[in-house]
Structure 1
């Protein structure tokens, strides 16, 4: 009997859905399946919209045809915005359905927001007051106020490898009980007195610190006379021994990466050869967002160089860049204002023509020049814009970085140039990935008490930050 009633109920529901679709009235909210609406838009406006079945499954549009307008772009906005969907225009009459990107604004909107933010200060004193508000709020937004206690353990350091003009050691630093951040420290073969150190977080490119271009960059900096510390993002590289790749997409990733960089700074500043007045950081893409945040938060950093990263209309497309509410600090901020917090320390921004940094010279960089001008050092912030290039950390991005570091940290740029005066990276040895592991080829050397899994990390983090 119960089965018969259920069957009748299902039939009624199906008939009801049919009625909703067949009879478009206010009683049914003029409701249509999203797939049907998209097909209708394609036919009406003679366009093509790419989408997958999963993107439209079980999605409905209320007052569907009431949202139509004479132009297709406004129609698509009206239809998709309530579902947190949007389209990217791939060409004339060609669109692709995407999730709403909270982190990407129209260019004009980003500029307008930066202008609104900038109305809050007009000279050095008012800007310093703004910084005094922002910095503690950044720590609080990241749940790092106060900072958790630093484990008393010593770093785990592998055997030193010796190359032409530089050496490499792999290092794991325990930043919370059982949680390690792994990296490789490149040093000049011969060290005399105090020398600079450059933190080198990479972006979301495959292989990250194992990549050839990352090895080349760090080794070349070492051959110039600086130390370079390349390290993994959270749930990336050797961090995958402790976590799943998907864990990188959790908001806590941003907090853990920030804490990791703070502990790396603690370590490199404890080395007898480190010059604390010459500590820098340079990363690309997501590593560039991390670079900006660290330079804003930690005054121990005296030089920064975010590469293909900074924009007033792009807040970072990964939770490791915008997962925690840092951009709500101070009544609202963005990555360009955060970059300004590095002033008066030297800063190089490298931008290109094929990503969200394409408009850097037009609006965002003039703002930064003005901010550095408050300190009388307008020339201490520089922009290398490559309008015909794309999103990478290739030679055209690395070479200006070497020149910038050499100029501001007083290094010998000629040490990496050939007889014709051109920068020569050919003396760098590209190592195979396992050579850069701290914990063995198969992770067999991972400490027995190491955290395993995100759930355990949350418990350890909660205990470490309990007030």
Structure 2
């Protein structure tokens, strides 16, 4: 090696190792460095700030750490963090926040590319119907619900009816598998004339679940304008927690049980003498929005759907109750927007906002959905209300378009829920204590003797 080459090599050695001021390490430990030290070096090297919790970096070591550095900070962070299943969100220029890798959240443009690839598989109603049939069959199998389990012959467990201003509430438990119950509350108009619409109302992951004030208001308003609304517990939460642990909700079968619970709830509701089988809707927010999309894709009895702050081509659902079973691998792969298209030609309202993964709905996903509806000559019944200044909630700004859509397509009575100025009046909705919405008593003392308990026993029902 000549003198000039030796000088060049020495120079790069100084740049690579000296500038980082790290302790010499041998090849036996693969040049490992604590992740916290590596992040500090990145901050120094690129003049950025990386925010993290100490528990995120504690005891995490990265092999060949310094060899992962690249010319830009974004490339370097990807090289450093991906082997540890970590990522960063860019909060603003020069500021990053460390996060666990989210398998269910893709970069926006990757989601769009995936949706474009899916769209290339069909070009008219006939080819789409073939794709839809293939997807629906595969979805049932992926959920372990093909064929559907035998329906228990037990009768629904119901509480006495509570009378409110313009509506009533009754708590109901349905046995959906031997010893497995789904619990909910049925809101109905105080006076029922003829057949009335049915609105299935799955909940999301907000604190308080279906017992929240905003949830009770929405169900009560639906009833006051002339439809029945059935809200029910997420698997493992609410009264389902009497049978399963809270953390069981974060396990794969939660998606299967919640789907089966929705199917059995519809089975029951549509046997009621005042249920209009031609006007059946489903409306839920966040994780409940994911359930809304899936149920509208699976169950042809549903004639109208409203997924709220949930739908995106680059977000697959951050909970196993949304993506725990391999539904997105069906028929060569799919995503939630393609699943939402399966509701066509039935009216569908997508509500999105600027503060979560639905922020880009109007740009790419909504035009795709409108095009899918155009196959049926029904693009006008595919609607999007986008609220760019809003965040991830089910506040009045989201409830209002829900009311508008139900009135528009189900012919509900808007005068029953509006004041003299024509504004929605939610003040007549009673907010009950959570325990008032229980079927099995304040402490679960009325839980049936045959109630199955424990996730391990539930798994035995799905060999």
Structure-2 residue corresponding to 1:57: 58
Deviation string, structure 1 residues 202-259 (Cα, Å, up to 9, x no partner): 1100111111111110111111110000111101111111111111100111111001
Per-residue deviation, 1:364: 0.4
For 1:283, what is the secondary structure of its paired residue?
Answer: strand
Residue 448 of structure 1 is matched in structure 2 by 449
Indicate the larger mover: 177-186 or 412-421.
412-421
Partner of 1:335: 336
| 1:311 and 2:312 matched | yes
Query: How far apart are residue 63 of structure 1 and its match?
Result: 2.1
Partner of 2:88: 87
Secondary structure of the corresponding residue to residue 434 of structure 1 = helix
Residue matched to 1:202: 203
Consecutive unaligned residues in structure 2, runs of 5 or more: 1-21
- For 2:182, the equivalent position in structure 1 comes to 181
- Partner of 1:145 in structure 2? 146
Alpha-carbon displacement from aligned partner over 1:297-353 (angstroms, at most 9, x marks no partner): 000100000000100011111111111110001111000000000000000000111
Instruction: Give, in angstroms, the shift of residue 172 of structure 1.
Output: 0.4
Quote the residue 2:116 is aligned against: 115
Give the whole-Å Cα distance in 2 for the aligned partners of 1:347 and 1:53.
44
Tell me the TM-score normalized by structure 1: 0.92
Pairs within 5 Å for 1:96-107 = 96-107=97-108
Give the deviation of 1:59 after TM superposition. Answer: 2.6
Kindly state the Cα deviation for residue 441 of structure 1 after the two structures are TM-superposed: 0.9
Number of the residue aligned with 1:77 = 78
- Report how many residues are paired: 442
The Cα offsets for residues 383-408 of structure 1, whole Å up to 9 and x where unpaired, read as 00111111111111111111111111
Which sections of structure 1, spanning at least 5 residues, go unmatched?
1-20
| Residues 1:294 and 2:295 are matched in the alignment | yes
Q: Give the structure 1 partner of residue 439 of structure 2.
A: 438
> Matched residues in 2 for 1:115 and 1:228: separation?
36
Say which SS state the counterpart of residue 308 (structure 2) adopts. coil
Question: Within 2, Cα distance between the matches of 1:60 and 1:206?
Answer: 35
Counterpart Cα distance in 1 of 2:352 and 2:164: 32
Q: TM-score, normalised by structure 2?
A: 0.93
What SS does the corresponding residue of 2:284 show, helix, strand or coil?
coil
Aligned to 2:365: 364
Q: Deviations over 1:150-170 (max 9, x none)?
A: 110011000000011110000
CA deviation vs aligned residue, 1:109-142 (integer Å, no higher than 9, x gap): 1101100000000000000000010001001111
C-alpha distance in structure 2 between counterparts of 1:52 and 1:389, whole Å: 27
* Deviations 1:16-62, CA, capped at 9 Å, x for gaps: xxxxx844465653332222212221222222223334323343222
Q: Deviations over 1:358-416 (max 9, x none)?
A: 11111100000000000001101100011111111111111111111111112121221
- The RMSD of aligned alpha carbons is 1.3
2:246 is aligned to 245
Q: Distance in 2 between matches of 1:458 and 1:274?
A: 34
